[in-house]
Amino acid sequence: MYFQGAVALENVSLHIEKGEVHALMGENDAGKSTLMKILLGEHRPDKGEIIINGEKVEIHNPKDALNAGIGMIHQELETIPEMIVVENIFNGRESSYKFLGVVKRKELNQRAKDLFDEIGLTINPKAKLPSLSVVEMQMVEIVKAISFEVEIVVMDEPTSAITDREVDMLFKLNSNAVIRSTFALNERSIPNNLYLYF
C-alpha cells in the first residue's frame, strides 16, 4: 500500500487462529496502524485480500468490518461522557433491546454486567463516565468491542493506559482472535506470534 508515493505496507501476510493473540510491534509510522485500518475498512489496499473462515471478504468501511466479524479498540478513548456505562456500550443498538418501542433497560444492564463478568471486571453499568478512572474507561471500550460478538478483536496499543491486573483480564478474551499493536513488549502476557514493523 502506498501513501503519497511512499510504501506504507508491502508483502504483509498475517494468519491467525481463534483464541490466538498476535502482536504487531514497531515504532510510530512503521505501518501497524495502516494494517489495522485496512482490516477496519478505513483504508483501501492497492492489492491483496482478506480471508475469514475460508471466505474472501470485501471491507470498504467499519460497518463491513463488523459484519465480517472484526471489531476495533482504538488507543484514544471514544466514550461519551454524557452517557452512562451501559449507554456507551450499546450506543446506537438500543433497538435490539426494545419491546413495544420501549428500551428494556434491565436486559441491557444485565448484558453489560455479563460482559464485564466475562473478563473478571466489576463496573456498574449505571455508573456515569466521569466517575470512572481512565483505566476503567479503557475497559468499557474493550467491553463495547466484544459486545458486537466479533471473532477478531483489533487493539491499537490498548495496554498503554491499563495496569497489569487489567492486562490479565484482557487476555481472558481467548474465545476471540486478538491482534494488537504496541511499541514495546513490557506486557506480562506473551503473544502467540510477534510481527516486527520497521
Q: Quick one: CA torsion of 134, 136, 138, 144, rounded to 10 degrees?
A: -150
Over the stretch 118-141, which tens digit does the pLDDT of each residue have? 888 889 999 999 999 888 888 898
Rg (CA), the chain: 17
Which numeric CATH code is attached to 2-197? 3.40.50.300
pLDDT 10s digits, 154-176: 877 655 556 666 666 666 665 56
What is the C-alpha to C-alpha distance for residues 4 and 102, in angstroms, rounded to an integer? Answer: 50
Residue identified by cell 490498548 is: 158
Q: Closest Cα to residue 32, out of 155, 176, 161, 167?
A: 155
Output the CA–CA distances (angstroms, integers) from residue 198 to 6, 77, 112, in the order listed. 14, 26, 39
Q: Is 57 exposed, middle or buried (0-12, 13-18, 19+ CB in 10 A)?
A: middle
Whether the pLDDT of residue 186 is over 60: the answer is: no
What are the extents of the domains in the chain? 2-197
Dmax over CA atoms of the chain, in Å, equals 55
Residue 150 · residue 71 · CB < 8 Å: yes
Among 41-50, 71-80, 123-132, which range has the highest average pLDDT? 123-132
Read off the pLDDT of each residue in 147-157 and give the average, rounded to a whole number.
Answer: 81
- Residue-wise pLDDT tens digits, 4-40: 656 667 787 888 888 777 777 777 777 777 888 888 8
CA distance 9 to 72: 20
Q: What is the mean pLDDT of the chain?
A: 77
What are the pLDDT digits (tens) for 95-104? 665 554 556 7
Distance CA 76, CA 155 (A): 11
